[in-house]
A and B are shown apart, each in its own frame.
Chain A
Amino acid sequence: MEREQMLNYSLEAINKAGAEKADCFLTKSEVHELNVENERISLLRTTYDTSLVLKALKENKKAIIKLNKTSKEDIDTAIEELMEMVEHAQADPANDISEKQEPANFETPLTKPDMELMHKRLTAYLVFIKEKYPCLTSDATNLKFMKIKQNYVNTNGVRLSETSGRYQFTCMFVSKKDGKSSSFNYSYYLSDNLEKNLWEYAGMERLFKQSDEQIETTGLQGKFVGDIIITPECVGSMFGSALSYLKDMSLISGKSIYKDKLGEKIASEHFTLHSQAVDENLAISSHITSDGYTSENITVIENGILKTFLLSRYGAAKLDMKRSANQGSLLVLEPGKKTLDEMIASVDKGLLLCRFSGGNPSDNGDFAGVAKNSYYIENGEIKYPVSETMISSNVARMLLDITEISRERLNSGVTFFPWVKVKSITISGK
């Protein structure tokens, strides 16, 4: 069946089977991926997949089934199972589907890969690494093109669709010399073109230089409280968990440390964070939410004030709050006024935190982990790369303790982050 026919058939069949409301989310994906192993391009992978997610509502009860085979027989079998599931679910008035909206279709111009160009760019990357960074190995690396078509339909008459194509480059690398090895590091970005060499996006060459420097490290001794400057590559892992406290699971369970903080100060006044559906700085857009709405740009935190939770339709209904106009993807952090050099110069004792190896914080926001690929800063100067150095703090406290944000920002195609300086972090060595 063609896409439209498949979606119409599915909605009708769920209705006929006894559901009062239904929705369908169809995703068709196509991936072309070149992989590197042992310093050469070793694998070309082409995959096609389908995901059809069917939701049925009956007497406020909800069930969801997902399949990737879409013949009439497969859909009929899935719907039979879906209706069995919904019969025995628990009634919850918060279960519903998105309200009637104007139909909308979003498309990006890039629809197919240029395989010759992909091969040329990746080959050039391997030659560049070998010649300019002979100590560096970058094997777990791939360049791929992804085309994704999404359709959302429901029985309230909502019809949304989005087609996008993008390139993604991911590389992991390690430097080795005289039997010594740096910590691994990695980088990635998304782009709607391959106009430049692969190492010229997302500040990648800075990381290669650092990797070579990090073959020789020094373990910090003792423990002190100091500043950290978080690099743009690390900002997401340090502050991303704070966003989870704004989402359905954390708020419905009542565990969120921000549950009573809407409209209140939860971060430094320097901190303004947007979640974008469309942003001219980013390589991709996100026009459709998973619960069937057209996404909009939102400001999550403005000058330190929490402006919105990131609630889905269900979460909003459950908590009698407002649904978020998107669900917290494509993050853009407003720049500050200082340059990175000025920020480094202002640190008496601390770290340039380039990668963080740590788990999710506790429910209260406490965390501890290892500062990887990072540098010790003293008297305003970067001194040396460190190893076996841990940092600990609390995510909520850290947001409030941001003292400076850099003027410069780094664009990964899905995020646009500056360097962020935070005070009062516990830093401990051996």
Chain B
Amino acid sequence: MIEKDLSKYSGLFRNYTELRMQENTQVAVSMVQGNLIGNSRSTTSGISARVFNEGTWGFSSSPDWKDTDVKKVIEAAAENARFLSTRVKGLAGVLPGRPAKMTHVFSTRKPRYSQKQLIEFVQNLDNYILTKYPELQSRVVQISTLDMEKRLLTSDGTESLSLIPRSFVMVSLTTMADGQPVDLYKPFGGLGNIEDNLNKPEDLYSEIDKLHENLMQKAEGVYPDAGVCDCVMDADLAGILAHEAIGHTTEADFVMNGSIAAEYMDKKVASPLITLIDYAHHNNGELCPQPVYIDDEGVEAEDTVIIKDGILKSYMHNRESAAHFGVEPTGNARAYSFSDEPLIRMRNTAMVPGISKLEEMIFSIDKGYYLVQPSNGQADSTSEFMFGIRMGYEIINGKIGKAIKDTTIAGVAFDVLETVSMVSDEMKWASSGMCGKKQPMPVGMGGPAIKCKVNIGGR
């Protein structure tokens, strides 16, 4: 834990100032075909200051955090703000905020695993795969963890400490079909240290068996027919749609930079079945995968209801965009590393579940696809998106058919959401990915399954 008391530096603040001390700790153990190719630990820590002066910002950071370093960083940030404020006319005045004093630490209370135990964990899983499925072309098992610890002091009264860990085991299997490699992978884990997420390797055996079963189905898979069709997007797909295609277009900085969502406030943008929220820390009483209680500008975080019953209701804001739009900040300003400035980022973005059952949604489709797992996704200022699909199935006459090969879906998200005709009653979260926007950022995304029309790539 970072033990330093930041309050003693408040006397050095001359303008609005944020002082953040941060440590990111990562562990990686990777085994490829039984070879331990990754065995590493990494700690990146330091201090940063950001100063607002007559509408412009100055930022500075240092990996060292002795008293003299902290003083230098605050002075350098103030000097940078002064350099710009004498040259640029900015948004003068006081930025809106919602200061708070909070501590949220999610680290394990169990004894920490040693590197030896982590390596044995990976070896155990690798041995299990090799012994049970010797015909596989390739196997990869990886453990990756990231602990983000932050202390924040702002000149308008926020004092916070947070430690948000996440940890995953990723298993990737490859087989050969018609002389070509076919692969499938899945991460297991989420919020929390590895000690809280994974008790023993044997707990993952049944998951690996399921992954192998899916891989064998995929090896026999068919190319989907290209074109627009009825689909059921399972929760992972609906989550990435919420994040990539709607979420990014409604980040206020993206709105100011030309996002089409600038035209849609208080207008109908989706089926009335769609309510989409960027949750701060809890959903329906349950902790979200990336809880944010106070953002990195010291604003107490609140849920942002982006779409309510199909109507666009809010963008996600930092202090400055909130001032620009004349609204309250939402607590979406986040920074990845001590040397990064806070940017408007999502936290836990998801659609709200409906009332349909997954089975009846599939049963309602004569010819279409049930899309289960995404690989990655990208979206655009127009809300046009593309997602890779690494696991999915045909739906024929209301029943699941053959698996499909890797493909891509694409469309204009606001148009696709207009076509949503059923929303399932389940809620699932995914959180293994990193969102990219100048800086990487761990995020949660999730939701129910949705039935919609979407353009699917074929061969």
Chain A, residue nearest B57 (CB): A43
- The reply to whether A37 and B259 form a contact with Cβ atoms under 8 Å apart is no
Q: Is B109 an interface residue (CB 8 A)?
A: no
CB contacts (< 8 Å) of B257 on chain A: these are 137, 139-140, 172, 174, 184
Q: Contact check, B63 vs A50: say whether CB atoms are below 8 A apart.
A: yes
CB-contacts of B96-132 with A (<8 A): 114-116, 119, 123
**Contact check: which of B83, B182, B384 meets A183 at CB < 8 Å?**
B384
A257 to B382, CA, bound (A): 36
Measured between alpha carbons, how far is A237 from B410 in the docked complex, in Å?
A: 18
- A430 interface hit (Cβ, 8 Å): yes
Q: What is the CA–CA distance of A35 and B439 in the complex, to the nearest angstrom?
A: 14
- Is the CB of B455 closer than 8 A to any CB of chain A? yes
**Chain A residues, Cβ within 8 Å of B320:** 37, 42
Q: How far is the CA of A173 from the CA of B257 in the complex (A)?
A: 7
Q: B39, A392: Cβ atoms under 8 Å?
A: no
A residues less than 8 Å from B227 (CB atoms): 223, 428, 430
**B410 near A390: Cβ-Cβ < 8 Å:** yes
Query: Chain B 17-29, CB within 8 Å of chain A: the 1/0 string?
Result: 0000000000000
Residue B89 interfacial (CB < 8 Å): yes
Measured between beta carbons, the chain A residues less than 8 angstroms from B182 are 362-364
Is B58 touching A44 in the complex (CB atoms < 8 A)?
yes
Q: Is A359 an interface residue (CB 8 A)?
A: yes
What residues on A are CB-neighbors of B83 within 8 Å? 44, 115
Q: Does A147 contact B (CB under 8 A)?
A: no
Q: Does B81 contact A (CB under 8 A)?
A: yes
| A406 interface residue (CB < 8 Å to B) | no
Give the contacting residue for B459; candidates A47, A49, A86, A426; CB below 8 A: A426
Q: Which residues from chain B contact A387 at a C-beta distance below 8 Å?
A: 382, 384
Closest A residue to B82 using CB positions: A44
* The one of A63, A252, A357, A358 that contacts B39, using a Cβ cutoff of 8 Å: A63
How distant is A204 from chain B, measured CB to nearest CB, in Å?
Answer: 17
> How far apart are B136's CB and chain A's nearest CB, in angstroms?
10
| Contact (Cβ within 8 A) B58 A370 | no
Question: Residue B378 at the A interface, CB < 8 A?
Answer: yes
**How near does chain A come to B455, taking the closest CB pair, in angstroms?**
7
A421 interface hit (Cβ, 8 Å):
no
List of A residues within 8 angstroms of B91 by Cβ: 38
Q: Which residue of the partner chain, among B37, B56, B181, contacts A43 with CB atoms under 8 Å?
A: B56
A75 → chain B closest CB, angstroms: 12
Interface string of A111-129 (1 = CB under 8 A from B): 0000100010001000000
Contact A44 B59, CB 8 Å, known A66-B41, A184-B258, A223-B226: yes
> Looking across the interface, which residue of chain A has its beta carbon closest to that of B411?
A388
Query: Which of B43-51, B199-207, B296-304 interfaces with chain A?
Result: B43-51
| A86 contacts across to B, CB distance below 8 A | 39
Q: Which among A9-17, A87-95, A194-202, A329-337 touches the partner chain?
A: A87-95
Q: Which of B32, B40, B62, B381 contacts A181 (CB 8 A)?
A: B381
- In the assembled complex, which residues on chain A have CB atoms less than 8 Å from the CB atom of B381? 174, 181-184
Q: How far is the CA of A362 from the CA of B223 in the complex (A)?
A: 13
The residues in A between 402 and 430 inclusive whose CB is less than 8 angstroms from any CB of B are 426, 428, 430
Q: Which residue of A lies closest to B140 (CB)?
A: A253
Separation of A128 and B375 alpha carbons in the complex (Å):
40
Residues of A within 8 A of B263 (CB): 179, 181
- B residues less than 8 Å from A176 (CB atoms): 258, 262
Residues of A within 8 A of B322 (CB): none
Contacts of B410 in A (CB 8 A): 357, 369-370, 388, 390
Q: How far is the CA of A183 from the CA of B378 in the complex (A)?
A: 12
Is the beta-carbon distance between A253 and B33 smaller than 8 angstroms? Answer: yes
Q: Given contacts A42-B90, A369-B386, A388-B411, is CB(A362)–CB(B253) below 8 Å? A: no
Interface string of A366-391 (1 = CB under 8 A from B): 11111010000000000000011010
Whether B412 lies near A388 (C-beta < 8 A) is: yes
List 8 contacting pairs A-B, 8 Å CB cutoff, sorted by A.
A35-B341, A41-B87, A50-B63, A67-B42, A67-B44, A252-B33, A255-B181, A364-B181
Chain B positions within 8 Å of A, measured between CB atoms, are 32-33, 35-37, 39-46, 48, 55-64, 76, 80-81, 83-84, 87-91, 114-116, 119, 123, 137-138, 140, 174, 180-183, 226-228, 253, 256-260, 262-263, 320, 324, 339, 341, 375-378, 380-382, 384, 386-388, 405-408, 410-412, 438, 455, 457-459
